[in-house]
Amino acid sequence: MITLPYWVDMCPDKKNHIVARLSQNDEDFTLIFHLYASEGEFTLASGTTATLRGTLTNGDQVTVAGTLDEAEQTVTINGTSAITAAAGHNVFEIGLASGGKNLYSENFDIWVEPAPLGL
């Protein structure tokens, strides 16, 4: 199991551009996203839910539920092969939902290295 930490800005368009690197078809990993705001104040409301969502290079859309730690302001995503199904630069974001409202992070890439044997 590998654990990878990243810092994600909840103020989109700041161009911090995070790139996570994984291998195709891997699923034995955990991504921990530390949430912050480069502008203004950022607090998580009680009852907020978190997801990782994105579009893969093959056109598939992926949504994975995350575990939110309100005190630490982190979202933990347990790896699945759905995240690493397509090689290349796959574009993702963290989504937060609370009280019927949604907030999305800056976009970031999950770069998936191709499987060496085309598996």
pLDDT digits (tens, 9 = 90+) for 39-76: 888 888 889 999 999 999 999 999 999 999 999 999 99
Structural domain includes residue 35: yes
Banded model confidence at residue 32, pLDDT cuts 50, 70, 90 = very high
Banded model confidence at residue 30, pLDDT cuts 50, 70, 90 = very high
Structural domain includes residue 13: yes
Give the span between the Cα atoms of 12 and 80, in whole angstroms. Answer: 25
On the question of pLDDT at 11 being above 60, the answer is yes
pTM of whole model > 0.85? Answer: yes
Structural domain includes residue 119: no
On the question of pLDDT at 16 being above 70, the answer is no
Q: Report yes or no: 111 and 22 within 8 Å, Cβ to Cβ.
A: yes
Q: Which domain holds residue 9?
A: 2-113
Structural domain includes residue 32: yes
**CATH code for position 62:** 2.60.40.3350
Number of domains forming the structure of the chain: 1
Structural domain includes residue 67: yes
Structural domain includes residue 118: no
Please, what is the average pLDDT of the chain?
90
Compute CA distances 84 → 1, 11, 36, 76, whole Å. 15, 26, 26, 16
Structural domain includes residue 70: yes
Structural domain includes residue 102: yes
